[in-house]
Amino acid sequence: MTGIDDLPIRDELRGKTPYGAPQLDVPVQLNTNENPYELPAALVARIAERVAEAARTLNRYPDRDAVELRTQLAAYLTRTGKHPVARENVWAANGSNEVIQQLLQTFGGPGRTALGFEPSYSMHALISRGTGTGWISGPRREDFTIDVEAAEQAIAENAPDVVFITSPNNPTGTAVEAETVLALYEAAQAAKPSLVIVDEAYVEFSHRDSLLPLIEGRPNMVVSRTMSKAFGAAGLRLGYLAAHPAVVDAVQLVRLPYH
């Protein structure tokens, strides 16, 4: 019988298995961190209304630049992130997984590497692999905090093209101090310079402020967000990033039109 490995697939995919958080039929699915409650009826009705309106124009491609969506997301970030963000700073995609994929397609790729401090979100390594980006597992302390000196050393030694910082971290819940992020950003700029992706999928649950204001004056820093966790809308597949407008322009080089 023909299996995957009998096909002429890329060598680095041989013998690998897909992302596998099991989808179980149980009331509380902690492994994928979904909200166990359905959307409120009023919201479901409003979505149905808007889908009916949108259905009339499905003969046309959608707005490629998602201007209205990005404007609304920028307004949300400005309201909650203690930092003014404009539409030009925001890019949205099918979940923050796609945002991360587009960033790695743009800033990673064959011959390049990405570094993350493990244990952390396993998709960072998987999307790196999928985009042909080499993966480097960076150090973390026993208590799951980031040891700044050890992290700086790992960055200096490996000079990665992309550095992932997840705050609060998945699966450990540990938030990262702004000073730590700044120190790692400086180390990453000195070593390469490289793109620093701050994954804030869980930030709305945190007692700490968002790291969003750190993008100011730092064009190589990106904050990624999602509707999947705090908004209980994992099925919506909406993730987004905030960064310097040049980063938003850069991901246009790899994004599929009308995604």
Ligand X SMILES: *Cc1c(COP(=O)(O)O)cnc(C)c1O
In the shown chain, the binding pattern of residues 208 to 227 toward ligand X, with x for contact by CB under 6 A and - for none, equals ------------------x-
**230 contacts ligand X (rule: CB under 6 A):** no
**121 contacts ligand X (rule: CB under 6 A):** yes
Give the shortest CB-99-to-ligand X separation in angstroms. Answer: 8
**167 contacts ligand X (rule: CB under 6 A):** no
Give the shortest CB-118-to-ligand X separation in angstroms. Answer: 12
Rounded CA separation 179/47 (Å): 41
**168 contacts ligand X (rule: CB under 6 A):** no
Burial (CB < 10 A; 0-12, 13-18, 19+), residue 95, is buried
Task: Tell me the CA distances in angstroms from 189 to 22, 146, 168, 169, one per residue in order.
Answer: 38, 18, 23, 23
- Please check whether residue 224 is in contact with residue 239, taking contact to mean a CB–CB distance below 8 angstroms: yes
Of 96, 106, 131, 133, which lies in the binding site for ligand X, with binding defined by CB under 6 A? 96
The length of the chain in residues reads: 259
Give the shortest CB-7-to-ligand X separation in angstroms. Answer: 27
Of 136, 155, 188, 199, which lies in the binding site for ligand X, with binding defined by CB under 6 A? 199
Residue 242: in which H helix or E strand, if any? strand 239-242
For residue 1, the tally of other CB atoms under 10 A from its CB is 3
**Interactions with ligand X, residue window 15-54 (CB under 6 A):** 33
Rounded CA separation 252/90 (Å): 12
Of 101, 131, 158, 170, which lies in the binding site for ligand X, with binding defined by CB under 6 A? 170
State the residues that interact with ligand X by CB under 6 A.
33, 95-97, 121, 166, 170, 199, 201, 226, 228-229, 234, 239
